[in-house]
Amino acid sequence: MKKIPPVKYMRDFYPELMRQRLEIESAWRAVSERAGFEPWDAPIVEHLDLFTRKSGEEIVTQLYTLTDRGDRELAIRPEMTPSLARLITQRQSALPRPIKWYCSARMCRYERGQRGRLREFWQWNIDLLGVADVTADAEVMSVALDGLEEFGLGPADVALRLNSRDLLAALLGALGIPEEHHAAVYAVTDKRGKVPDETLTKLYEELGLDKATLEKLLAVMSCSTLEELDRAARGAGLVGFEAEVEKLQRLIGYLEALGKGDYVVFDIGIVRGLAYYTGPVFEIFDRNAELRAICGGGRYDRLMETMGGQPMPAVGFGMGDVVLGELLTEKGLWGTAPANVVAQAVPLADERIADAMRLVASLRAGGMMADYVMKSGGLGKVLKRAGESGVRWVIFVGGDEWDSGQVRVKELATGEERLVGTDGKELLALIAKTAL
């Protein structure tokens, strides 16, 4: 019979890969809770309209959709923020401010598979709601970087690229570009650094702007620092953007206060593709620029209103496990080793299998990782496999020792053998003592 392969760009987790995924999720959880964020989750299947309402065109085209038996149009979640907004709006008046929530959730997007991009992934979401000031943005960005530092990554490895949708909107407004055309400019700007400069200029030219406006726009969009942008905009006679520059400068100052200043790089090309972003936006990349964004997020102050709720300032990010895993592999930073069995009971005859089970049960009850061989015989192979799999102690259950109320215990690393009682208490004490 023909074997059934896994679905393309979905994932199988053999034990070694599952250990890595759990290592990532454990770090995410630890960092979140150290910073005072609370866990939450939502259904993996939501109403289709939840995502088509405000997620942005790219994500809408990547949805896994279905119609259930009640003729309802549904989708497998491609992101968590719309679900978060749905939950918040249901209890908005009752939730104490600020709201600090985190989750680590499974998602699916029908994307073109490539390095760092699969159609199934786990994503860490941090969201802080109810605080309009950029102190909240700094907190969220700092936690994202804490999550990477948890694996041993630092400013030499990754950079946080920062921009502001409000700053871009103010600059476009100062240039006289109508608001209804801003999304088209954002879409071109989002390609900065992803296509050659000549191609980017051509795309801006295709927006239909007059020559003078285009020249000023190109001058502003070519800036590589916030200070340079401020000078270029003032030199072009633009006004009305200054408050947004000051806001970003203040945000950078807060990040420096949190010890994260060395990560920050201003990048006017960061706009984020999702339609609900408003103020500061950011993405975290590896310094070698060999991978896709490790993390991305920003302000979404108007999303609650689109979900039928009351206005509420909000900021958050999402970090996927796929690109992070690529980077950890590249840097050799995985910390997970197989969880080795400490003690293994070996029955020397079939009639001692139940006795081996009872002994192992007592060891497990005492908090030890213990296992037993499920049939007697083949002692040489058993010992060889125990050594290869990292077993520390082998307990021989049976023979004359058992008849005298004892078991023979062998420490594989030293070859030393000794006799202990059959109830497991003496063995637990022995292992605790030798572990010191």
DSSP string, 57-113: HHHHHT-EEEE-TT--EEEE-S-SHHHHHHHHHHSTTTSPSSEEEEEEEEEE--PPP
Q: Are residues 279 and 138 in the same domain?
A: yes
Q: Is 208 exposed, middle or buried (CB count within 10 Å of its CB: 0-12, 13-18, 19+)? A: exposed
Residue 436 has a pLDDT of: 47
Last residue of a domain, one of 308, 331, 354: 331
Task: Single out the residue of 284, 259, 260, 282 nearest to residue 271, CA to CA.
Answer: 282
9 labelled ligand-binding: no
Residue 344 has a pLDDT of: 95
Q: Are residues 193 and 269 in the same domain?
A: yes
Task: Kindly report, residue by residue over 124-181, the tens digit of the pLDDT.
Answer: 999 999 999 999 999 999 999 999 999 999 999 999 999 999 999 999 999 999 988 8
Q: Are residues 287 and 377 in the same domain?
A: no
Q: Are residues 392 and 295 in the same domain?
A: no
Residue 8 lies in a domain: no
Residue 3 lies in a domain: no
Q: Are residues 428 and 294 in the same domain?
A: no
Write the CATH number for 142: 3.30.930.10
310 labelled ligand-binding: no
Residue 201 lies in a domain: yes
Residue 191 lies in a domain: yes
166 labelled ligand-binding: no
165 labelled ligand-binding: no
Q: Are residues 62 and 149 in the same domain?
A: yes
Q: Are residues 196 and 309 in the same domain?
A: yes
Beta bridge partners of 100: 128
Beta bridge partners of 343: 370, 393
**Residues 62, 67, 69, CA angle at the centre, nearest 5°?**
160
Determine the Cα–Cα distance for residues 279 and 343; give it in Å rounded to an integer. Answer: 56
Q: Are residues 280 and 375 in the same domain?
A: no
Q: Are residues 365 and 274 in the same domain?
A: no
213 labelled ligand-binding: no
Identify which of 161-165, 232-236, 401-405 has the greatest average pLDDT: 161-165
Last residue of a domain, one of 331, 354, 378: 331
Q: Are residues 174 and 58 in the same domain?
A: yes
123 labelled ligand-binding: yes
Residue 7 lies in a domain: no
Task: Kindly report, residue by residue over 335-368, the tens digit of the pLDDT.
Answer: 866 777 899 999 999 999 999 999 999 999 999 9
Going along 130-251, which residue ranges are E strands? 158-164
Q: Are residues 213 and 324 in the same domain?
A: yes
Least confident of 51-55, 205-209, 213-217, 353-357: 51-55
Write the CATH number for 366: 3.40.50.800
Residue 9 lies in a domain: no
Q: Are residues 76 and 163 in the same domain?
A: yes
pTM of the entire structure?
A: 0.88
Task: Kindly report, residue by residue over 72-112, the tens digit of the pLDDT.
Answer: 999 999 999 999 999 999 999 999 999 999 999 999 999 88
Last residue of a domain, one of 331, 358, 389: 331
276 labelled ligand-binding: yes
User: Averaged over 190-211, what is the pLDDT?
Assistant: 84
Determine the Cα–Cα distance for residues 398 and 364; give it in Å rounded to an integer. Answer: 20
Task: Kindly report, residue by residue over 268-294, the tens digit of the pLDDT.
Answer: 989 887 677 899 999 999 999 889 999
Long-range contact set of residues 239-248: C-beta below 8 Å, sequence gap at least 24: 239/174, 240/170, 240/173, 240/174, 241/167, 241/170, 241/171, 241/174, 243/170, 244/164, 244/166, 244/167, 244/170, 245/167, 247/134, 247/164, 247/166, 247/167, 247/279, 247/280, 248/162, 248/164, 248/167, 248/280
Residue 337 lies in a domain: no
Q: Is 315 exposed, middle or buried (CB count within 10 Å of its CB: 0-12, 13-18, 19+)? A: buried
Number of domains in the chain: 2
Determine the Cα–Cα distance for residues 74 and 63; give it in Å rounded to an integer. Answer: 10
Residue 5 lies in a domain: no
Residue 212 has a pLDDT of: 87
User: Averaged over 187-206, what is the pLDDT?
Assistant: 84
User: Domain containing 174: what range?
Assistant: 15-331
Task: Kindly report, residue by residue over 8-67, the tens digit of the pLDDT.
Answer: 999 999 999 999 999 999 999 999 999 999 999 999 999 999 998 865 666 788 999 999
